[in-house]
Structure 1
């Protein structure tokens, strides 16, 4: 989880779609370098509203929890906050979606689509 917060420090305005960011990771008792692919910008629907976001897809190593290399999508708000607004994961038992319901106390205005 801390790796996703580390991704908030990157300037996505200077990145190209398909560019890879390397982040230290830990899964199933092993340390590894997680490659995260920048997929560009999207508007995502959350319970808190439609939000402009950066899409990031970590390339997952073979494991017992997630289904395939591109099983997880993470969306960070496309603004100065870069807060996680949506996570989606394909797991062996089904699909998990973590959706932002509300927000408060942000330093900058959230980039909500009107």
Structure 2
């Protein structure tokens, strides 16, 4: 399942650059399939709340993502993971995020609270499989515009890619898994891509991956965002040590522009 999480993180990208539009609408729902070769090994759902949430007097959206194993893979290693956040509707900065992970005999429940008055993140975590009391942890926010995974995905869909040229570097400051990250990715222009929802012109992005024992090669992960009003995360390709895996959008509804695709 760590494969599913890592590929989903391939969608988690953002930039300290100009914003072109706000393509996200309330009630949006996206369905994804994770595959390896001919086999479907997982499925995911991305949902945005029907109504806005008010935090510190600001309008926010609530985002919930679920991922689970599918097919024969689920027989050997059952995974049922959930992620979510409440983020500012305009800046996508997080106020609250959570992870509820169940992977085989391992589990984790984690809640992160972002306090912009004290500039700290409070993280509370627990585990059923390891019920010992875990201390509350605090992390100082030292940079402006630090995003979480959900806010990063929202920002990525709003970047003004048309102002970029091929080879430009996009940067992001983020907090995830009790760590702050400096992400960089390279913009590779527009190309027409065959996806599960049709042949669509897309913005192509390649993150700069730190060396690890999971991904293979310098350009291990590539993802595509639709070059239209909806900026849908359409496809992620990951070259991994055991082969190539894909995360692909299979259906969507309640998008900002156009009709549903089921």
Does TM, scored on the shorter chain, surpass 0.5? Answer: yes
Tell me which residue corresponds to 1:20. Answer: 169
**Bigger CA drift: 82-91 or 2-11?**
2-11
Tell me which residue corresponds to 2:245. Answer: 96
Tell me which residue corresponds to 2:215. Answer: 66
Count of paired positions = 110
Q: Is residue 84 of structure 1 aligned with residue 233 of structure 2?
A: yes
Instruction: Give the direction of change, closer, same or farther, for the CA distance of 1:92–1:30 in structure 2 (3 Å limit).
Output: farther
Superposed CA deviations along residues 63-91 of structure 1, whole A, max 9, x for unmatched, are: 12111231001100101211100100001
Which segments of 5 or more consecutive residues in structure 2 lack a partner in the other structure? 1-11, 13-148
Which segments of 5 or more consecutive residues in structure 1 lack a partner in the other structure? none
CA contact (8 A) 1:73 1:88 kept: yes
Superposed CA deviations along residues 43-80 of structure 1, whole A, max 9, x for unmatched, are: 11112111111000001011121112310011001012
- Provide the alpha-carbon RMSD of the alignment: 2.1
> 5 Å matches for 1:33-48?
33-48=182-197
Instruction: Give the C-alpha shift of residue 28 in structure 1.
Output: 8.6
- Could you list the structure 1 runs, at least 4 aligned residues long, displaced by more than 2 angstroms after superposition: 1-6, 24-32
Q: Give the secondary-structure state (helix, strand or coil) at the position aligned to 1:63.
A: coil
- What is the distance in 2 between the residues matched to 1:103 and 1:97? 18
- What is the distance in 1 between the residues matched to 2:217 and 2:210? 8
Q: TM-score, normalised by structure 1?
A: 0.84
Larger radius of gyration: 2
